[in-house]
Amino acid sequence: MLFTDRSDAGERLAAALRPLEAARPVVLGLPRGGVPVAFPVARALGAPLDVIVVRKLGVPSHRELGFGAIGEGGVRVISEDIVRTGRLTPEDVAAVERAEEAELTRRARAFRGDRPRVALDGRTVIVVDDGIATGATAAAACQVVRAQGAARVVLAVPVAPPDAVAWLRTAADEVVCLSSPPAFRAVGEWYRDFAQTSDEEVVSLLARAAAGPAAGQAPPAAAVEVDAGGLPLAGDLALPEGARAVVMFAHGSGSSRRSPRNRAVAAELHRAGLGTLLFDLLTPAEETDRANVFDIGALAGRLVDATAWLRRRTPLPVGYFGASTGAAAALWAAADVAADVGAVVSRGGRPDLAGPRLAAVRAPTLLVVGGEDTTVLDLNRRAQRELRCENRLEVVPGATHLFEEPGALEAVARLAGDWFTRYLAP
């Protein structure tokens, strides 16, 4: 299993951890790389997110050999066997602890600021990392979390070697690992993008999670009249305070403004600090003629004109979210240099209808299709082969064309939010 990046790994891990949602868990990310994986997990489960800062206590003469670990709140886990075989004196142990305690305090404050640590007493705690090499740090984290009062400890990682997974089952009550390849050499081999996570990214993700679901909530959408090359089209424009980008919804049947599915996705984008413009590409009279629904060139032209109208109102970066034939229109428009669109997401769309224009698309493109929508899935796979931009095809297991199954639309919304956040508002 190959992951696109840590966000992608987190989305897939969240799906595997869904059964734990009812336990109302706490999600802890190991810094630094574990936090970007833990963020989508916490959001999917509606769980609080925090960082678990652990410092391994190494034998002075052999630093790689740990005789214990310390965590926040004065928690210490010591292996008396290693202390004894390493012939460590109480003074040796105390000296190592003092040095590591100072670094632990510094890092915890750097990541969390003045926010208090999330209490773990009696809770189910999910410890998340971006992968396991030796497993020493993950094992120490599980021990520290248990010592901090957790009732149940679950270790969740995208990838790890089989022997490490087997050993870690002794440190955690449960280990959830998506991929455990026998030919394991390094965690980074299983990611297309394994760029180093910065302290700033960790701080930002923790702050977003701490702000809660109300952060980035959009004000009531304002009814607007979108000027599409002289043709007025009804729309709803919502811009959260401090919005970093705006996403235009394109739907070929003209139902974009009223679609409950699109409104559900828009609400998720608002929580991510993104604005939305939901509008009808066709007038009510036009949408009664099915030929108009499949006139991709005309729909795309209106979308480009509407984009120009939106840019006169706000300087924010623009992305497109398209469904059905609207996805083809979004990609066709994205190929037009006048649109200058930053990212595209297709939900159950027909990107194949954009034809030769696909090769000209430069905006990063995400195609989301239901696993049971087999005909459309095949068409998306064909279209993906024509794309020359950065792209990804995400299949939502068990979902049909309208994503009406429990959790299916939520998965689409999370995928879209992460994609637009990454490429429009990094």
**374-418, pLDDT tens digit by residue?**
999 999 999 999 999 999 999 999 999 988 888 888 899 999 999
In this prediction, residue 59 carries a pLDDT of: 78
**329-366, pLDDT tens digit by residue?**
999 999 998 888 999 999 999 999 999 999 999 999 99
Q: Binning pLDDT at 50, 70 and 90, where does residue 54 land?
A: confident
Which range has the worst mean pLDDT, 87-101, 144-158, 179-193, 396-410?
A: 87-101
Q: Residue 356 class from Cβ within 10 Å (0-12 exposed, 13-18 middle, 19+ buried)? A: exposed
- Looking at per-residue pLDDT, the higher value among 174 and 219 belongs to 174
**107-125, pLDDT tens digit by residue?**
888 898 888 889 899 999 9
For residue 20, the one-letter residue type is L
In this prediction, residue 70 carries a pLDDT of: 82
* 253 pLDDT higher than 90: no
- Per cent of the chain over pLDDT 70 is 95
Helix ranges (H only) for 122-238 are 136-147, 162-168, 199-211
In this structure, the number of other CB atoms found within 10 A of the CB of residue 230 comes to 6
Q: Binning pLDDT at 50, 70 and 90, where does residue 256 land?
A: low
- Looking at per-residue pLDDT, the higher value among 89 and 319 belongs to 319
User: pTM, whole model, 2 decimals?
Assistant: 0.53
How far lies 408's CA from each of 210, 249, 347, 375, in Å? Answer: 25, 19, 11, 18
User: For 95-125, b where at least 16 C-beta lie within 10 A, e where not — what string?
Assistant: ebbeebbeebeebbeebbeeeebbebeebbb
The average confidence (pLDDT) of the chain is 88
